[in-house]
Amino acid sequence: MKTILLTGASGRIGRCLRYALRDDYRLVLFNRSAIDDLGPNETLVRGDTTDAGAIEGAARGADVVVDMAGVSDVAPFREKLLPTNILGTYNVFEAARLAGVPRVVYASTHHVVGYYAADQCLDEAAPYRPSSMYGVTKCFAEATGRLYADKAGLQVICLRIGFFRDRPLEERHLAVWISPDDMARLVRCAIEAPNVHFEVVYGISNNTRRFWDLGRAREVLGYEPQDDAEAYATELLQGPSADFSARLRRVGGSKCELPFMP
């Protein structure tokens, strides 16, 4: 049974992964707040990724770090994003290196390419076009992961996660949604995939209207999403289906329309 260090364990995705993985893995939950419903294979370590010593201690003995900690939306850079998404991310990769953890699965975001027009299907080779400073912090994280893979020998998989909820809530989500079941499938594949050096893959369900190519996730990780946001299309479409991409304009949606936040 592998030992997984899961950061951000009380977050929306962290909770989903706990329940999906805890029967098959030993989970070390690294979290700032208390968690009261620990299962038999779960251990809680209280801490923050901005504390390098705390995360390094939690990483010792782990086989994989699944890093789901961080600020996951637009926020003031100096006060929120810089300590958590920049320093905290660096601390996670460095802790894995120092503790000898061979693999890091990192929660990136589709907003690293959010400023692209919505009328094209992008693959992982598309140059960065972040939709906000939040997206910029995830560009930093992916580049950091690449360096730690190339120079420190870590196996790194960056998941460009879409909109994670039980169901899509608005028209754009028909393209970017990832269901809880598919999220668990994706992370399980990232934990178990053999022969990984550095990979970036899109974390979405098998959406009919998706903006991103899932070929790499299928080829390298063996990820086969089972859900499709199209089941909600009749309810969520705001106009003719043929005009879907034109109405959305950019893949990052409203984050591209917000006033610039330094």
d(CA 184, CA 208): 20
Instruction: Tell which residue, 202, 78, 70, 220, has the closest CA to residue 141.
Output: 70
Domain range spanning residue 166? 3-256
134 assigned to active site: yes
Q: In this predicted structure, what is the pLDDT of residue 255?
A: 83
Render pLDDT for 153-208 as a digit per residue (tens, 0 to 9).
Answer: 999 999 999 999 999 999 999 999 999 999 999 999 999 999 999 999 999 999 99
Backbone angles phi, psi at 205, to 5 degrees: -80, 180
pTM of the model: 0.96
Is residue 174, in this structure, part of any structural domain at all?
yes
- State the burial class of residue 141 (Cβ atoms within 10 Å of its Cβ: 0-12, 13-18, 19+): buried
Residue type, 177: W
Q: How confident is the model at residue 20 (pLDDT cuts 50, 70, 90)?
A: very high
Find residue 104's DSSP bridge partners: 65, 156
Q: State how far the Cα of 159 lies from the Cα of 235, in Å rounded to an integer.
A: 28
Q: How far apart are CA 136 and CA 10, in angstroms?
A: 24
- Mean per-residue pLDDT of the chain: 96
Average pLDDT over residues 28-48: 96
Q: What is the tens place of the pLDDT at every residue in 57-78?
A: 999 999 999 999 999 888 999 9
Is position 261 within any domain?
no
Annotated catalytic residue: which of 25, 106, 116, 134? 134
Largest CA distance in the chain: 54
Q: Give me the CATH number covering residue 22.
A: 3.40.50.720
262, part of any domain: no
- Compute the distance between CA of residue 72 and CA of residue 138 in angstroms, rounded to an integer: 10
3-state secondary structure of 128: coil
Distance separating alpha carbons of residues 179 and 259, to the nearest angstrom? 30
Write down the H helix ranges in the chain: 12-21, 52-59, 88-99, 133-152, 173-176, 180-192, 215-216, 233-236, 244-248
Instruction: State which H helix or E strand residue 112 sits in.
Output: none
Query: What is the DSSP-derived secondary structure letter of residue 69?
Result: -
Query: With bands split at pLDDT 50, 70 and 90, how would you rate the model's confidence at 43?
Result: very high
Nearest to 101 by CA among 18, 28, 33: 28
Into how many domains does the chain fold? 1
